[in-house]
Amino acid sequence: METMMQPSVAKTKGKKWRKIAIIAAAIFVVLAILLFAFISMYAKRSIPQLEGKITIKNLHEAVEVVRDEKGVPHIKAENDHDLFIAQGYTQAQDRLFQMEMARRQASGTLSEVVGSTALERDKYFRTLGLRRAAEASYDIYSEEAKEILAWFAEGVNAFIEEAAAANRLPIEFTLLRSKPDKWTPIDSLTIGKYMAFDLGGHWEEQAFNYYLLNEFSPEKAYELFPSYPAQAPTIIQEEEIVDVAASFKDAVIPDPFNGSNNWVIAGEKSTSGKPLLADDPHLGLATPSVWYQMHLQSPSFQVGGVIFAGVPGIILGHNDQIAWGVTNTGPDVQQLYLEKRNPDNPNQFLFEEKWEEANVIDEPIHIKGEKTLDYKVEETRHGPVISEFAGDSGKDTVLSLKWTALAPTPELEAIINMNKATNWEEFEKALEKFHTPTQNFLFAGEDGTIAYKANGKIPIYQHPDDALLPLPGWEKASELENHIPFDELPKVVNPSKGFIATANNKVAGDGYPYHLSHVWAQPYRYMRIAEVLEEKEKLSLADMRKLQMDEMNLQAREFVPIFLEQLKELALTKQEKDAVALLEKWDFLDDKDKPQPLLFHKWIADFKTLLFKEDIPEEMFVMFSSQNQVTDELIRKASKGEKSIWIESKGGLAAAVHTSLKNTIEQLTEAYGEDMSAWKWGAFHQIQFEHPLARVHTLLEKVFNKEKPIPVGGSSVTVEAAGYQEDTGIVHHGASWRFVIDMNEPEIGYHIVAPGQSGHFKSEWYADQTFDWVNGDYHKTSLEGAAGKTLVLTP
């Protein structure tokens, strides 16, 4: 009897547990909805006041802040003091949490608010010492610049005090259970130093090259050292170098010893008869945008454009007489040194047969919920010891870093003077103070001048190959003590061809007397820009916008024929033949709705994986910054019949191409089905401007990420720059700001700042430019003022 009842009892218990599970799930859903509603309602309280009047102490006169239809603040003040207080206050209204995270990341204090998950990152930034460098930089600033920094900080702190007193700080602070400290001038300068970190340097490549020579035969190692296509164009052409180099003939080179697009068109190539300028700097894509667009107006300033949240002034943009933009030059401004530690005194390092004391700096790291870490940083004569971050290269070696950005530098001085400049001569003079990061500045003047300068502090190497590897820190001959003189930096003014363009490509050929870099971006974006600019006799502003969204893939145009040629003599499966047929019909546009871009990008990525991943561990592979450049060169050489150890180890070029095609088809078939014609690049390649807290919980993802991933075209090698994670396809790097201007109307600029102006997820301007970015829809901003929500800041 008992045995007969057991199935019935088990069935009853199963129903009971299922019922409990359903109830639990329902409760969870209700709690999630309530939590979402709570966050939503609480967040509404912290939406900043954008209309009416607000009293701010220390203002001298009333300041008007008008936010236009895209949330761009137009600040009009009667004096500079009030202008920069208002700029700090306005930035904090829209971007305070971003500013807080930026200064913490650069200062190495994230662990204080997020706990030990940020510890290794904090250790790295404490070791680099960006904040220490910012503190040293402050001392060399003029009184005018120090005043601007102080006024800006006053404005930020006015908002912090107001929001904290009313319990209206942004919701992110509540979620992290933290409050922002007072803002200081050093915070602004530290953020500036972080951007130098983000845009410049190559020490990882040196560490990787050092690893190669210790791990592989010299022949195999040297094959992976960076090189540049011999026929690829440079920014400064050879005929221009001849003129420049003439003044260097008597130069004494001392003993030896870090992506974007922009172009400018001369008036004779412009439909308006005045210069046209376009700029789209490529940085990380996230929520909020790295850029904040503003218009500043006072008796001394009439300037608009973008700035990093947390920094005063306008770094990129235009005033009513000039416009400018930048791309990253990427010169060798970081140098690793091998150091010999004294076995009897670990704080001493050898230099010229004598032991020198290192500077040991206490950098205690406060960790939320845990004991403070007693962290110490060693600095040799060259800079901080960074061996623990150099992977296998630093395993048994002491490596220190010398870097131009760790020296005192006065970039804010340059920004102030750039904002006020009225012509090329004044603008170039302002650049003297812009030391780091080294940038390709393009300039357009209302007077018709177009110009270019690769500007910044660039060390002089007597032997260019010295920049490929760590140098012996114990030898005076290894010291890098001099920089390329300002007047001898690469420069072009009003070239005869009628345009100048840069895209992180090689700046100058062999005729230029100084070494700049071994690692340049693949030349495809520059080549496409030049191709388009050369093919039309006259260009318009619409042409500029169209070119910024151009999806032509010149890498594919070069390598697809090479790959298909290698397959000609091989026995291919039906799927492989179908893939070949698709590629033969491709117009080489990285169109989101086409299958060929998906096939090509996956194919060349798998080819790279096939070549390197078995031999190079992941922790070292991430330091291989020239991996794409090197892979392209290996393919070129092998296709010409030249020897490549890495390719031959995979059976030769034809075998490697075939194997990687097989792998690619297998992976894509599994992910997208058997019908190749139905594959789409945009099914993989998608943009999502992710908020830093979105990864913490799915609920926060729904709160802070307004849009699901959106299919987009372009790629990392097209002018429409959209770099992506090779495993997920999510676009995370690209045109962080798009800008075009016609100097026939210098007061009007056309912009895209995605995903939007505001960092507050309840704002109408939080994500309103997301699809503008996807579709290339620009908004017009005028220096003559705007209509919109008006806030008056009063004394």
Q: What is the tens place of the pLDDT at every residue in 402-433?
A: 999 999 999 999 999 999 999 999 999 999 99
Please indicate, yes or no, whether residues 281 and 355 belong to a single structural domain of this protein: yes
Q: What SS3 state is found at 568?
A: coil
Whether pLDDT at 256 is above 50: no
Final residue belonging to a domain, choices 649, 679, 709: 679
Stretch among 436-440, 602-606, 698-702, 768-772 having the lowest mean pLDDT:
698-702
What tokens does 106 get?
Answer: 């650069």
Co-location of 331 and 246 in the same domain: yes
Question: Does some domain include residue 54?
Answer: no
pLDDT digits (tens, 9 = 90+) for 39-81: 666 667 789 999 999 999 999 999 999 999 999 999 999 999 9
- Which residues are registered as beta bridge partners of 631? none
| CA-closest candidate to residue 404, choices 128, 140, 126, 145 | 128
Using alpha carbons, select from 456, 451, 449 the residue that is nearest to residue 502: 451
201 and 334 together in one domain: yes
Domain boundary among 679, 710, 736: 679
774 residue type, one letter: V
Same domain membership, residue 635 and residue 602: yes
Is position 356 within any domain?
Answer: yes
Q: Is 12 part of any domain? A: no
- 505 and 569 fall within a common domain: no
Tell me if 278 is assigned to some domain. Answer: yes
Q: Are residues 530 and 566 in the same domain?
A: no
- Mean pLDDT along residues 589-597: 98
CA 137-139-145 angle, 5° bins:
85
**pLDDT category, 202, cuts 50, 70, 90?**
confident
DSSP string, 26-89: HHHHHHHHHHHHHHHHHHHHTSPP-SEEEE-TT-SS-EEEEE-TT--EEEE-SSHHHHHHHHHH
Question: What is the structure's pLDDT at 685?
Answer: 98
CB 493 within 8 A of CB 243: no
Q: Which of 206, 272, 321 is nearest to 541 (CA)?
A: 272
Of the candidates 487, 472, 557, 475, the one whose C-alpha atom is nearest the C-alpha of residue 523 is: 557
pLDDT at 10 over 60: no
Q: What is the pLDDT of residue 22?
A: 55
- Write the pLDDT tens digit of every residue in 335-384: 999 999 999 999 999 999 999 999 999 999 999 999 999 999 999 999 99
CATH number at residue 582: 1.10.1400.10
pLDDT attached to residue 252: 23
End-to-end CA distance of the chain: 90
In total, how many domains does the chain have? 2
Cβ atoms of 225 and 411 within 8 Å: the answer is: no
pLDDT digits (tens, 9 = 90+) for 687-731: 999 998 888 878 888 888 888 999 999 999 999 999 999 899 999
Pick from 229-238, 431-440, 484-493: least confident: 229-238
Candidates 517, 493, 154, 147; CA nearest to 331 is 517
Report the share of the chain in percent with pLDDT over 70.
Answer: 90
Query: DSSP letters of 404-461?
Result: GGGS---HHHHHHHHHH--SHHHHHHHHTT--SS-EEEEEEETTS-EEEEEES--B--
628 and 543 inside one domain? no
Which amino acid is it at 299? P
> Over the stretch 150-174, which tens digit does the pLDDT of each residue have?
999 999 999 999 999 999 999 999 9
Give the model's pLDDT for residue 635: 96
Please, which pLDDT band fits residue 33 given cuts at 50, 70 and 90?
low
Q: Is 515 among the domain residues?
A: yes
Two tokens at 712?
A: 């987009």
Torsion (CA) 326, 454, 721, 772 in degrees, nearest 10? 10
Contacts 24+ apart (CB under 8 A), 559-562: 559/604, 559/632, 559/635, 560/586, 560/588, 560/600, 562/635, 562/639
> What are 508-534's pLDDT values in tens digits?
887 899 999 988 888 999 999 999 999
Burial class (CB in 10 A: 0-12, 13-18, 19+), 341: middle
SS3 661: helix
Q: Is residue 747 part of a domain?
A: no
Q: Is 42 exposed, middle or buried (0-12, 13-18, 19+ CB in 10 A)?
A: middle
Separation of alpha carbons 443 and 746, rounded Å = 12
Fill in the DSSP letter of residue 422.
-
pLDDT: which is higher, 392 or 538? 538
Q: How confident is the model at residue 394 (pLDDT cuts 50, 70, 90)?
A: low
Query: 369 with 510, same domain?
Result: yes
The percent of residues above 90 in pLDDT, for the chain, comes to 80
Could you tell me if residue 36 is inside a domain?
A: no
> pTM, whole model, 2 decimals?
0.90
- pLDDT score of 198: 83
Vertex 429 angle, CA 423 and 432, to 5°: 145
- Distance between alpha carbon 149 and the CA centroid of its chain, in Å? 24
Query: Residue 18 has what pLDDT?
Result: 57
Quote the pLDDT of residue 238: 40
By mean pLDDT, which of 23-37, 373-387, 586-600 is the weakest?
23-37
CA–CA distances in Å: residue 233 to residues 89, 268, 505? 46, 23, 8
Mean pLDDT to the nearest integer, 133-144? 97
Same structural domain for residues 529 and 388? yes
Q: What is the CATH number of the domain that holds 135?
A: 3.60.20.10
Q: Phi, psi at residue 303, to the nearest 5°?
A: -145, 145
pLDDT-derived band at 264, boundaries 50, 70, 90: very high
Cα angle 306, 534, 261; round to 5? 25
Tell me the average pLDDT across 504-509.
87
CB-CB neighbours of 697 under 10 Å: 13
In tens, the pLDDT along 744-786 reads 999 999 999 999 999 999 999 999 999 999 999 999 999 998 9
Note the pLDDT tens digit of each residue in 278-337. Answer: 999 999 999 999 999 999 999 999 999 999 999 999 999 999 999 999 999 989 999 999
Question: Are residues 579 and 504 part of one domain?
Answer: no
Confirm if 533 and 501 have CB atoms less than 8 A apart: yes
H-helix or E-strand containing 382? none
Specify the pLDDT at position 243. 32
Examine the domain organization and report whether 461 and 328 are in the same domain: yes
For 678, the 3-state DSSP assignment is: helix
Please check whether residues 401 and 503 belong to one and the same domain.
yes
Contacts of 128 (CB under 8 A, 6+ apart): 197, 384, 386, 401, 406
pLDDT reported for residue 703: 87
- Does residue 522 lie in a domain region? yes
Q: What is the mean pLDDT of residues 191-195?
A: 94
Residue 580 has pLDDT above 90, yes or no: yes
- Please provide the average confidence, as pLDDT, over all residues in the chain: 90
Q: Residue 566 sits in which domain range? A: 554-588+595-679
